[in-house]
A = this chain, B = another copy of it.
Amino acid sequence: MKVRKLSYICIMEYQEAKEKFISTWGSLGTLWGINKAMAQIQALLFISTKPLSMEDIMEQLHISRGNTSMNLRQLMDWGIVTKELIPGERKEYFTTEKDVQELARIIAKERSRREIQPVVKVLKEVSSIRDDGTKKTQELIKQTKALYDLTETADAMLNKIVNQQQNWITKSLIKLIK
């Protein structure tokens, strides 16, 4: 009886923590441009000990089949989630990249490609207009050029960071992943 009670408490603790994590990660997703469902699916897979089917995901997150399908597809486009075929099973199962370092690398690369690069392109264009000598044109050129350089530098830095660390991130992960 004591044990049963204890066990019950443990499950609650786990469930609560899990839900908190999924929902927080989900709302963070919204902030950096991926939708809630997508971020939650990733979160769910991230803490799951085994691959999950579409049914599993639908059920645990209470989202529709269509929504699950579309967001899984997007996660696969990002290269964050992969299909896992289980022999003898008709269903498809999904897993996410479990190594946060690799996850960060993928996300940084994708965001750079999808979001930063197009902006850099426009900044370069705008900062290259002909200087007609007016003050306002010169201001436009100067400021967009400054932003262009900043953005490029930030992007280069981001890539550098996520590619060749070995010190920053790895250090803290070594003790956890073992």
A177: chain B residues at CB < 8 Å are 142, 146
Copies in the complex: 2
Contact indicator B13/A140 (Cβ below 8 Å):
no
Distance to closest chain B CB from A94 (angstroms): 16
Alpha-carbon gap, A136 to B13, bound state (A): 12
| Minimum distance in angstroms from A170 CB to a CB of chain B | 10
A75 to B98, CA, bound (A): 38
Pick 29 A–B contacts, CB within 8 A, sort by A: A10-B132, A10-B134, A13-B130, A13-B132, A14-B129, A14-B136, A17-B129, A18-B126, A20-B125, A21-B126, A24-B119, A31-B115, A32-B32, A32-B33, A33-B33, A46-B143, A47-B139, A47-B140, A47-B143, A48-B136, A49-B136, A49-B139, A142-B177, A146-B173, A150-B169, A150-B172, A153-B168, A154-B169, A157-B161
- 5 extra A-B contacts, CB within 8 A, seeds A28-B119, A98-B143: A18-B126, A30-B33, A31-B33, A49-B136, A149-B176
